[in-house]
Structure 1
Amino acid sequence: MFLLDAPVSLAHDLVAGLAGLLDPVAGGLATAAAIVVFTAAVRLLLVPLSVAAARGERKRARLLPQVQALQKKYAKNPQRLQRETAALYRAEAATPFSGCLPVLVQWPFFGVMYRLFVSATVAGHQNLLLAHTLFAAPLGQNFIGVVGGGLFAPASLVFLVLFALLAAVAVWTSRRAAKSGAAGPAGALMRLLPFGTVAVAAFVPLAAGLYLLTSGAWTAAERAVLRRRFAPLPA
């Protein structure tokens, strides 16, 4: 836990500084807007990994007909299918997991945001960010903590809108992943992973949920752009 103290302190200073800059424009929404900007900056740093993942997706799409042929040929022999599929990817220097890399790498940043909004103190000082809200919902509170006031209370409604937006992004992202050419457990993981954000968002502070939503929306837009840039080559 002590290893996170320095990153959490840095994140606190960044978010607080951004909120101060955004306050003349965003007013009471400045801290929430700062979290969105912070998340976008993180995703901007990870663009090279996303480009590499898009190249991998292009390669998987090119291999999809061969993978489907193997699935048909070894439909009754899952172990042989797994070996042959792995051999095909190995021969073509491809991997079914490359699309997961940008998601996995950013989880430490999400962990810092989570820790920031569950910590009463940061660097020995009171964490004043916990007093900030998004409309009626405290940024440091989770859905379980506010739903006791009523499912349709203002604070609960903020979370319900967040969940709906996360679900919409997850559906879009999952459908795009289904077209990526990844087969077997890797493909299933890539299709199901986006929906995990909806479940996670119910148990983490609202600030961390905003991180998930911003990052998910970035992923959706980024994949749309990169998919056109790295469209599969004609067979």
Structure 2
Amino acid sequence: MIDFFQEIGGFIMTPLYYAISFVLDLFHQMFSALGLDPAGGASWALSIIGLTLVIRAALIPLFVKQIKSSRNMQLIQPKVKELQKKYGHDRERLAQETMKLYRESGTNPFASCLPILLQMPIFLALFQILNNASKEIPKGVLTQTQARQFGEAELLGVPLSSTFIGADGDVGVMVMAALLVLAMTATTFLTQRQLMSKNMPPDALTGPYAQQQKLLLFVLPVVFAVGGIAFPIGVLLYWTTSNLWTMGQQFYVIRNNPAPGTPAFAAKEKRDAAKAARHGTVEPEAASETGSGTTTATEERPAQRQQPKRQSREQRKKQGKGRSGQQKPPPADTPPTHETQ
């Protein structure tokens, strides 16, 4: 049974070894051509960052799907609560109706985990490549010389293959590993916190889904912090860069396409109204709707009644002759003249 799982794991991981090492090799050749030392830690560290950016760029479609699914999960929470009140006594019926609601709204409750789940094999593959390189064992397309360079590469005097628990009292390794673990933990926490505080409506902050999100808010950073002490410096660099990418990408999406009824949506409406006001494109009705409290001149003063023009005696005589001798009484608004008195 163990051999079977090992074969399955090898079948999955072997293509990743070649793909990751191929991208690493491309970036390493590029930075070496730019004048960086091929055996130096800077060239290999930048290659890891380049690998991270390529992977995250490839995962953008999944990230968009994750954002849409998370938004749908937030927006249907009031309906989920209604189902819980209606079928709370029947768990089987509640599960059926909830899944039906997910299908109708196009929501996948597991979509939010896809980017992390897909990155885990990549994460493990990079770990194995770097770990084997420290033993001068090449994996994928890396040559023996590249594996030795990768395994011995140092960044600020700290080997990229070293770990916090394997520092053997090396203060430099422990400090750099600790800083990267803290950075990885903090960025994981802030990314989740950003989503909950900015892009969740009030109704979505209560209920089972909200409790799950709050649990992940604190559990995931702890898991990464505990596991991070066993990760090589190069792997910590990959994960921290990936988290920074996630924060920036999520900030852009929340700022420009927030979910309705959220603080981010209200902030975007204010920015749009202020931008329109600066360019002079706000209509009077729109300005009053945005809460400016101003009214137009036509709203403040009622329409005035137009008074008839006063005519001279000669003009009245000419009008009387032109009406074939039929003289009409003067208008009610016209004040009496000396002739009619």
TM-score (norm. length: structure 2): 0.58
Structure of larger gyration radius: 2
2:22 alignment counterpart: 10
Determine if the alignment matches structure 1 residue 51 to structure 2 residue 70: no
Q: How does 1:62-141 map to 2 (within 5 A)?
A: 62-71=75-84, 81-119=94-132, 120-122=136-138, 123=142, 125-126=144-145, 127=147, 128-141=149-162
Give the Cα separation in 2 of the matches to 1:154 and 1:221: 30
More off after superposition, 116-125 vs 215-224: 116-125
2:243 to 212, 216, 221: 216
The answer for unaligned runs of 5 or more in structure 2 is 1-9, 263-341
Following superposition, the deviation at residue 133 of structure 1 comes to: 1.7
Q: 1:88 is aligned with what amino acid?
A: L
Bigger relative contact order, structure 1 or 2, given CA contacts below 8 A and separation 6+? 1
Superposed displacement of residue 15, structure 1: 4.4
Partner of 1:168 in structure 2? 186
Correspondent of 1:183 among 209, 227, 238: 209
Q: Is the aligned partner of 1:229 residue 2:241?
A: no
Kept in 2, the 8 Å contact 1:22–1:30? The answer is no
Quick one: distance in 2 between partners of 1:60 and 1:230? 16
TM-score, normalised by the number of residues in structure 1: 0.81
Aligned length: 231
Quote the residue 1:149 is aligned against.
169
* Contact residue 166 and residue 213 of structure 1 kept, 8 A: yes
The structure in which a higher percent of residues are helix is 1
**3-state SS in 1 of match to 2:165:** helix
Relative to 1, partners in 2 of residues 1:133 and 1:72: Cα closer, same or farther, differing over 3 Å?
farther
Closer/same/farther in 2, CA of residues 30 and 6 from structure 1, 3 Å limit: closer
Which one-letter code corresponds to 2:144 in the other structure? H
Asked if 2 retains the 8 angstrom alpha-carbon contact of 1:169 and 1:216, the reply is yes
Which structure 1 residue ranges, 5 or more long, are not aligned?
A: none
Q: Partners of 2:120 and 2:34 in 1: how far apart?
A: 26
Q: Is the 8 A contact 1:163 1:201 kept in 2?
A: yes
